[in-house]
Amino acid sequence: MSQLSLETLKKEATRFVMQLSNTPIAELYGVTDGKAVGTYVEQSFNLHLASQYTYKLGSAAKGIDFPDLNVDLKVTSIRQPQSSCPFRNAEQKVYGLGYHLLLFVYEKRDDRQSSSAILDIQHAIFVHRAHTGDYQTTYGIGEILRRHGNRDDIVAFLEERNLPLDEIGREVLADRILQDPPKLGYITISNALQWRLQYSRIINVAAVGQTAGVERLSSDL
């Protein structure tokens, strides 16, 4: 078996979701718990990959599903496309989560005649790690820099956005932003003990075509 690469992961993700969308799943009939659906899809995808490739499985300590590729898989319903992830630091809202996202967005329906569930995978999207920051935060920073704003302008903006930082932390982050402007992020990230990630914008961006950092893996879904 060959080693799993980022490109083969994307290719197999496309193949997997197309197969899954046409497969009745008795185990998920009547299930309304999104976490249970997500776990089923994640385990099924790993079985699909393990039959052809070698790769390191993710762990709770590492926190992402494909640590060697720096990719985390998120499975979410189209009705409420969101999930949570561990909070590491406030800079994640500016510079991204620190890893790529592979996003499967499904619509579930139950077939009474066959007593099985159908998962219609409506979107399979790959988001580059540099674009996993918070949209409003990164857009606002970009506008300040475009208007030749200075350190004080950025510090004030970070305070207005309620980033979980003290005054010194805001100043340090402002200096980094001036030296290394962040890419535009496409996630809505809400402050909490765990980040709350919302994906509606990613879905909309992917639906209209390829955008820097956001890749729709199949136009046939």
For the stretch 153-182, pLDDT in tens is: 999 999 999 999 999 999 999 999 999 999
What's the burial of 143, exposed, middle or buried (CB within 10 Å: 0-12/13-18/19+)? exposed
Handedness of CA 13, 101, 38, 33 (dihedral sign): negative
Alpha carbons 97 and 138: distance in angstroms, whole number: 13
Please determine, for residue 71, whether its predicted confidence score (pLDDT) is greater than 60.
yes
- The whole-angstrom separation of Cα 159 and Cα 17 is 42
Residue 220, pLDDT > 70, answer no
What CA–CA distance (Å, rounded) separates 9 from 22? 20
Structure confidence at residue 61 as a pLDDT band (50, 70, 90): low
Compute the average pLDDT of residues 5-14: 97
Q: What is the pLDDT of residue 1?
A: 84
pLDDT > 90: what percent of the chain?
86
pLDDT above 80 (res 192) = no
Residue type, 205: V
- pLDDT for position 60: 58
Band of the pLDDT at 20, cuts 50, 70, 90? very high
User: In which band, very low, low, confident or very high, does the pLDDT at 194 lie, cut at 50, 70 and 90?
Assistant: confident
| CB 175 within 8 Å of CB 65 | no
pLDDT at residue 7 in the model: 96
Residue 9 has pLDDT above 80, yes or no: yes
Q: Answer for the pair 97, 69: CB distance below 8 angstroms, yes or no.
A: no
Q: What number of other Cβ atoms are within 10 A of residue 168's Cβ?
A: 8
Q: What does the mean pLDDT of the chain come to?
A: 93
217 contacts 126 by C-beta, under 8 angstroms: yes
d(CA 12, CA 217): 10
User: Residue 34: what pLDDT?
Assistant: 93
Question: Given this model, what pLDDT does residue 44 score?
Answer: 96
DSSP-based three-state secondary structure for 34? helix
Average pLDDT for 15-38? 94
Helices (H), 51-86: none
**132-157 average pLDDT score:** 97
For 89-135, what is each residue's pLDDT tens digit?
A: 999 999 999 999 999 999 999 999 999 999 999 999 999 999 999 99
